[in-house]
A = this chain, B = another copy of it.
Amino acid sequence: MNTTGPDSPSRRELFRMIGSVAGGAAMYQAMSTLGFAAESTYRGPVDLSGAPRGASVLILGAGIAGMTAAYELRNAGYKVQVLEYNHRAGGRNWSLRGGDTYTELGGFTQQCEFDEGLYLNPGPWRIPYHHRGLLSYCKKLGVPLEAFVQVNYNAYLHSSKAFGGKPQRYREIKADYQGHVAELLAKATRQSALDAAVSREDREKLLESLRDWGALDADFRYGANLLASERRGYAKEPGGGLTARPLPSQPIGLTDVLDSGLWQGIPSGDRYDMQTALFQPVGGMGRIGEAFARELGPLIRYNAKVVDIRQDVHGVTATYEDLAAPGTKLQARADWCLCTIPLTVLAQIPMNVGAALHAAISAVPYSSAVKVGLQFKRRFWEEDEHIYGGISYTDLPITNIAYPNTGYHSAGKGVLLGAYIWGQNAMEFTAMPPALRVRKAVEYGSRIHPQYPAEFDNGIAVAWHRSPFTLGCYGMWSEAARAQHYDNLCQVDGRIALAGEHASFIGGWQEGAVTSALDAIGRLHQRAIARGKKA
């Protein structure tokens, strides 16, 4: 082992020590000097060389974590078997398409009636450029990607309590907030209010930058002129010929922008997980799970509901029901087990592990997200409102309306994400039967897009707390739970290791599943080698 490598405990401890004594800046300096900074957790294919001959791993769950592990362990020479509850692979990596059927807890069955080529991603729907683990599997499995649009300047920010309930364009709110901020800071700077914080040398540069960035005029004012319109849009757009002269639009005043609360929507595309470039697989997020399933073929056993996990000194046995032949109990056994079952479900399955791991499994509540897909007879958001892709935000319970990032400008029907809800509103939607969720999404959405009632075709709604295979959307670690239980959740317990987005610091993202799986199998592999040598 290379003890001076970037992962060696001594270096990591050193950095932690520098950080706690001298603060982040000093830590960063030290890390940069030693070539440690800005490294990503994903460092390329996991090294599993030297797998003991004949060693086997049982993987519970054919989601992204389970299939990442199965792919790597199989390639490393392990005997691999995957048990999956659903009749399909992917887990939350999933696209609902026309002809698909989905039965949730409570017995409601929905038939998806979308037209050919249209889909809803009930779970993950975007892949940031820095989710290098997941992206590497897209490449290996030949899953083509296209651009996902997070921020659309012509999409809406909507508050039912502001501007008479009339949705505002993102570009207007962003330009006006930025313009007012720039004008105010320019004013304070010129009044010498910030002389203690801004040096004389910086002062002129700051003012020059504010003018450019905030679209201020020569007097450092933001107003109803073509400078501002060149950001927020015009009253009359520039054109060609004799009716071409543009007319400026009127910015929204600072008080109205602040009162509306719509400024909360401005930085959505600034967040590291939602910055450009973002991707979606062509044809739906489910293409990744489907590609993994094709690759793994008979290694996955479907309709296998795990009811008991038991380890002994030689290996691990999982007992499962064959859902295709109700009442049939079968067993699978291997030397090692990687369990990727969501904690909500796993907490209900008997498993002989230590108290610390048991406690960790029960410590993580799950998000109660709801997504509703709505098919419309035409793409009116493009045709009438010139919104191509991206997301509108609202304070109505539906929270988000997201427009398809593909098939731009095409004729015929289209599917919107008509609601993406979490928290208390999601619990209310979860309590409704699916048809009512769809109806409510249409009702609320009509307040933003009045075309809804006339153009609505059909819909489907997935409430993750009623999903039999996850009982929730993703793990929501509190800081306190993280401090007490996270390491315990990730430690190998005898012959069993856990993986999944819940065993990561990227909760709710597929990259959390990938990196947690790679980390866990790396440690299982070390144990397997150690055992192999003893044997």
**Chain A residues proximal to chain B, CB less than 8 Å:** 7, 15, 19, 23-25, 27-29, 31, 36-42, 129-130, 132, 135, 138-139, 144-147, 149, 151-154, 171, 174-175, 177-178, 181-182, 184-185, 187-189, 191, 193-194, 197-199, 201-202, 205-206, 209-210, 212-213, 215, 223-225, 229-250, 254-255, 258-259, 263-264, 266-267, 270-272, 275-277, 279, 386-390, 405, 408-409, 411, 487, 490-491, 499, 501, 503-506, 511-520, 523
Chain B residue numbers with a CB within 8 Å of A213 are 177, 263, 266-267
A472 to chain B, nearest CB (A): 19
Q: Give me 5 A-to-B residue pairs in the complex whose CB atoms sit less than 8 angstroms apart, sorted by A's number.
A: A28-B249, A171-B275, A185-B185, A230-B272, A240-B499
Assembled-state Cα–Cα distance A515/B259 (Å):
39
Assembled-state Cα–Cα distance A238/B123 (Å):
21
A291 to chain B, nearest CB (A): 13
Interchain CB contact under 8 A, A271 and B231: yes
Interchain CB contact under 8 A, A243 and B194: no
Chain B residue numbers with a CB within 8 Å of A174 are 270
Interchain CB contact under 8 A, B239 and A37: no
A276 to chain B, nearest CB (A): 5
Chain B residue numbers with a CB within 8 Å of A247 are 15, 19, 27, 31
Interchain CB contact under 8 A, B202 and A523: no
Assembled-state Cα–Cα distance A499/B223 (Å):
33
Nearest chain B residue, comparing its CB with the CB of A262: B209
Instruction: State the number of copies, please.
Output: 2
Interchain CB contact under 8 A, A279 and B520: no
Chain B residue numbers with a CB within 8 Å of A239 are 40-42, 504-506, 511-512, 515-516, 519
A322 to chain B, nearest CB (A): 31
Interchain CB contact under 8 A, B506 and A240: yes
Interchain CB contact under 8 A, A238 and B505: yes
The 4 A-B pairs of least Cβ separation, nearest first, read: A41-B239, A241-B519, A240-B516, A24-B224
A446 to chain B, nearest CB (A): 22
Q: A209-B177, A212-B267, A519-B240 are in contact. Are A276 and B41 (CB under 8 A)?
A: no
A256 to chain B, nearest CB (A): 10
Assembled-state Cα–Cα distance A258/B200 (Å):
12
Chain B residue numbers with a CB within 8 Å of A511 are 239-240
Chain B residue numbers with a CB within 8 Å of A264 are 209, 212
